[in-house]
Every structure is written in C-alpha cells, then in structure tokens.
Structure 1
C-alpha cells in the first residue's frame, strides 16, 4: 500500500551559517573587515538568520579568533540587528563573551558519537551534556534563545553508521536542557533520503515537534538537495546552508563543503516554496567572497549563473 505524502511546505527558513561554519575551515585568516562585510551582504540579500561567528578558544579555531571584534564592529554598525545574530558558544566562557556584548541568540554544539565528542570536545558522549547544561541554563536566564547542533547524526568517519536512537538520545537531552531548536548535522555528507526520513520519524516518535528540528547537510556525495527534498516531505521547514558552499569541519577531514545557499534557493524556488532570499544578491556575495579567498565558489548555481552572465 502506498502511503500518500503531504505536500511541500509553503515556506522554508534558510539558516545561513557561512560566516561561522563556512569560514572556520579556511586555511587563510580572513580579515575582520571582510567578515563584517560578508555578514552585511548576506543580511541585505534577505537571509532571515545569519550565524555570525563562534566564541571558541582561538587555539582550536584560529580563523574565528576575532569573534569579539567582529561582533563589536557589527553592533556598532547595525545595532539591534547585530545583537540578534546567532553565535556559537562552546562553553560558559564563550557565553560570558556573548553576554558582555548583549547578544540574544547563541548555539551549543554536541556530538552524536563517542569518538567525535572526544576529538571535538574532549568529553565523552555523556559528559558533553554535563558541560552544556550550565551554559544553556545561564543563557536562558539571561533571556537568550539557544540552538543546539548535533554533529555526526548520519555517519561518523571513525565509527561508521550512527544508530538512530543514539542520535535521538543526544538530541532529546539537549531539548530537555532548554534548547529551542535542534539542528541535525550530516557532518561528513553521507546521508541519503531514506536515512533522513527515518531519523526525522525517530524524533517525532520520541515526541519532538517538527518545528523544533532543522537539518544541516554537507554535499560530499552530491546528495544534499535530495536530502532536503526528503526533509521537506517529512515536514521539516528549517535548513542550514552556507553561501557559496563554503565550509567543512576542522575536526573531520572527510567533511566537505556545506550545502550552498544558492543551490538551496534555486531548488526551493523551483518547488514554489517561499524563502524570502534574493538569489542574485547571494550569488554576487558569494562571488565577492570567492575573490577574497582567492578561489572559485564550489556552488553549482553560482558557477552556472556567473558563467552564463559572462557569455
């Protein structure tokens, strides 16, 4: 018997992660002025959420060592608009820096696997949550909104396929701590559409509403848009993406670029799904950033539109 699928949602939220997740993996250090302009351009293109940076220790991610300077620059320029930009805070020290700048949206970053928790956080699968608990509690007390990332939700380069219930266990623990939204990450890009739908179904079976979930895909195997389509069919309406397809993960060598924002916008437009993003403006922004980085954008849509314009 064929089970009828619901139609696609009328509107999707694109959660732009290029300035943080995109730039954290660059070998060259990007000047703070360029980062600030990158954020401004993305906001001007109509992206509703732009994650600006991470208050991680510079020893671990030197590319984002200028986080406080960047946010101070943006707050001075954009005021409340900048204070509403999300930032990643790995622990209470990172939260202190966000609070000092009166920022209103933070995120914490957990792992669905034991090995990655050890490599990325120097914690076990269980004790990582003990580390996040006071950070989330203090953020909520300060009136902040908290997002939770879970990495390695579909596969881990050291452990292989990750059991669905293991991912659900970590994710629901974060939600129990008070996280408002959970972003499920395909960190090394091995997800397939069936796996996406199975994981979303496992979360809904655990009582997690669909509007509390977001999906974060990497395009290692060229499956990111197929996985978005599966997520849409499952009812998820928030998708992380990175302008120009920038990004990866400094702690997982097999993690290639994020799903490109332009590719996602083109795809959603083709389905008649509203997103509020100006494609031409994002393409121009990614082209500009590619010039700053000294290499072409990996986004298929950016390349196609720019090559067409050059003919």
Structure 2
C-alpha cells in the first residue's frame, strides 16, 4: 500500500494523539441501527490498527439517539487492552449513573457556545447549561474519572451566524474551571478557516487555557478540515478528533457533513513525519469493512485512493 513521503516541517509536534470518534459521533448519525456486534468489532478493529483513544458510545436517552441505545450492552462485549482509553459521552447525572454502572473510567460532556444550539440540543440557555454540567462533572471527578468537555458551534452557528471568540472562550474556560482536563473545540458545521482557528487558540491562551488543554474537532463541510488541522498543529495542538472513514456529522445541524476522516488525517501526519502509533493499512481495511456494513461508500479521499 502506498504511503506518503515523509518530509518533516519545523514548528510541528513530534507526536499527536488521534482521538477517534467514529464509533460514537459517527454511528449516532446513521439512519439505520447498526448491530451491537458490528459496533464491537469496529471498535476492536480500530484498536488493532493502533488507535489508543476510541470514544465508544453515549449514554444519552435512547429517545434522542436511538442508534446508541445499546451502550451498556456494547461495553459488556468489549475487552480492550489496558493502554486504550475508551471514553463515553454523558449528557447529565442520569447518563453518568449508567456510565459508572458500566465501569467507565473516562467521560465527555457536550456544551454549546451559542444560545440557539443550547436551546435546541440541551433544552437550556447558554448560562444555564452549566447548572446541568456542574454536578455531573463534580461527581465524575469524585469517582476518579477523567472528564473531557466538548464545545460545539465554536466557529459558526447555522441560526446565529458568526460566533464571537470571547463567547467561545468564556464557555470553554468555565468547563476547565469545573474540572475538565481537556476541551475539544468543535467546528460543528464546518465553516472554520485557518486564520479563525489561530485566533481562537490564541484567545484561549490569553485566557490562561494553553494548547496543551485543547483539542480540535473539524468537520469538512467546506473542505477546510485538513488545512485547519495543520494550522492547529502549528499553534501547539497535539490532540485531533477524527472519525474512521469520515463517518458522522451532527443530527442537530442539517448543514453539517462528515467529520474529518481519520485516514485523511493520518496521511497528512505521516507525510509530516509526526508519530501517531496508527497503522494506515489496517485502518483503511477497517473503514472499508465498515463502509460495507453500512452499505455506502466512505467520503474519505485517502480511503477512496487506497482501497481501489
């Protein structure tokens, strides 16, 4: 299998953590319900390909995300190596209860940077969402869990348009103050451009939230995900969210297309000489297999090139 020629570039990290979201963020957007055994095999294949952070599922109420109603059953099927992080998304304390009962050691919570998305996704306001997050985060920390904070609509909102940088930073900084070990800055509808990415990371740094506490989560709606990723790397980011085969989008934002494909990200990182520990050939095989399970082709350009 062809691989990119490695040409190292100054000013970039030596190693990057790929935070794989395909099994959760990807599959929650599928119209059909994927069998739990297929999900388990997908996760096992991702781990076998070398991914060491795989977000497995979500303990959101099945009414809202029926595709992940089998969360507890899925976790029972998994027996992952000790060095694999397997976080799950939880929306509130009820979700946390279910996660703790399943033996989860790491969770993520999902916040909004805008009023409208907070109302549509969380049935809350921009400020009141923290009333829901606070007890969930505190209990998780008391139980010894790591907590990641997602911030959605960081670069633009389909209802409100442009989102002020200071508004995003205020939301993110409050999550850090509550105890989140990491913030994932989401380009939920894929409208970010490189200069905007740099400006937001710099704004967080100015608010005493350094790049070491940040991750980026790009969608490729306007074809900017890889350019934005490279910009984030130059700004000191070392954790990149991506989805095997480019699975996923956002069920609450109709204009959003798929996540940055892990294969496309890996091709770029390998070409830059950045270590990830992930085997590109095994990952391509895994995503090709998954696309057959779903009965549709992957949008990943690297997958399309290498799978032929």
- Asked if TM exceeds 0.5, the reply is yes
TM-score with structure 1 setting the length? 0.95
Tell me the residue number matched to 1:248: 249
Tell me the residue number matched to 1:44: 48
More helix by share: 1
Q: Deviations over 1:10-60 (max 9, x none)?
A: 111100000000001000000000000000000010012000000000000
Tell me the residue number matched to 2:80: 78
Runs of 4+ in 1 over 6 A off after TM superposition: none
Tell me the residue number matched to 1:306: 307
C-alpha distance in 1, partners of 2:236/2:249?
26
Q: Deviations over 1:210-261 (max 9, x none)?
A: 1100000000000000000110111111000000000001111011100000
Q: Deviations over 1:266-285 (max 9, x none)?
A: 00011111111100111100
C-alpha distance in 1, partners of 2:218/2:226?
8
Residue 209 (structure 1) shift: 1.8
Matched residue of 1:69: which SS?
helix
C-alpha distance in 2, partners of 1:146/1:178?
7
Structure 1 residues 79 and 272, CA gap change in structure 2 (3 angstroms): closer
Equivalent runs, 1:1-311 vs 2, <5 Å: 7-74=11-78, 77-78=79-80, 80=82, 84-307=85-308
Matched residue of 2:150: which SS?
strand
C-alpha distance in 1, partners of 2:186/2:251?
15
Contact in 1 for aligned 2:151/2:185 (Cα 8 Å): yes
Matched residue of 1:215: which SS?
strand
Structure 1 residues 45 and 79, CA gap change in structure 2 (3 angstroms): closer
Residue 6 (structure 1) shift: 6.4
Contact in 1 for aligned 2:52/2:83 (Cα 8 Å): no
C-alpha distance in 1, partners of 2:124/2:194?
31
C-alpha distance in 1, partners of 2:13/2:145?
28
C-alpha distance in 1, partners of 2:74/2:256?
26
Contact in 1 for aligned 2:56/2:86 (Cα 8 Å): yes
Q: Deviations over 1:72-115 (max 9, x none)?
A: 111xx337567x41000000000001111221000000000000
C-alpha distance in 2, partners of 1:12/1:81?
16
RMSD: 1.2
C-alpha distance in 1, partners of 2:80/2:275?
26
Contact in 2 for aligned 1:6/1:233 (Cα 8 Å): no
Matched residue of 2:189: which SS?
coil
C-alpha distance in 1, partners of 2:190/2:244?
17
C-alpha distance in 2, partners of 1:155/1:208?
21
Contact in 1 for aligned 2:118/2:125 (Cα 8 Å): yes
Structure 1 residues 6 and 114, CA gap change in structure 2 (3 angstroms): farther
C-alpha distance in 2, partners of 1:114/1:263?
33
TM-score with structure 2 setting the length? 0.96
Query: For structure 1, which runs of at least 5 residues remain unmatched after alignment?
Result: none
Query: For structure 2, which runs of at least 5 residues remain unmatched after alignment?
Result: 1-8
C-alpha distance in 2, partners of 1:257/1:47?
20
Q: Give the length in aligned residue pairs.
A: 300
